[in-house]
Amino acid sequence: MIDFVDGTAFNNEQGNRARKLFAAVVLAALDDAIADDKKYGNGPDQIARWARSRDGREVLSCAGIDPNERVVSGLMEFVGKGVRTSVALSREESERRNAAAAAQAEAA
């Protein structure tokens, strides 16, 4: 019984690691699309083409993201904002956005 529990926990941990790896691939694809957007101006189109491709759908699924059109439009919107993923995921950026939202709510 203990071996079964250990094996299940190990398999679950391996699955979580694989999901994180594929999530990192999605973040890298977003950064590449943002770079393309700054250089060529076609970043949202690039990420949409990738997300709709067979490989893109497979990577999104393995990352635990449902590859539907709502997700594709969200990825396009994110790339359109031009904020790199490392900055967008940082605590400072989160605090800045929350402060801006609070100031906007007070003004309304």
pLDDT at 24 over 60: yes
Per-residue confidence (pLDDT) for residue 25, from 0 to 100 = 97
What does the pLDDT average to over 54-81? 96
For the chain, give the mean pLDDT: 89
Q: What is the pLDDT of residues 25-51, one digit of tens each?
A: 999 999 999 999 999 999 999 999 999
The helix/strand/coil state of 102 is helix
Per-residue confidence (pLDDT) for residue 5, from 0 to 100 = 62
Contacts of 85 (CB under 8 A, 6+ apart): 27, 30, 31, 34
Which CB contacts under 8 angstroms, 24+ apart, belong to 46-51?
Answer: 46/79, 47/72, 47/75, 47/76, 47/79, 48/72, 48/75, 48/76, 51/75
- What is the pTM for the complete model shown? 0.79
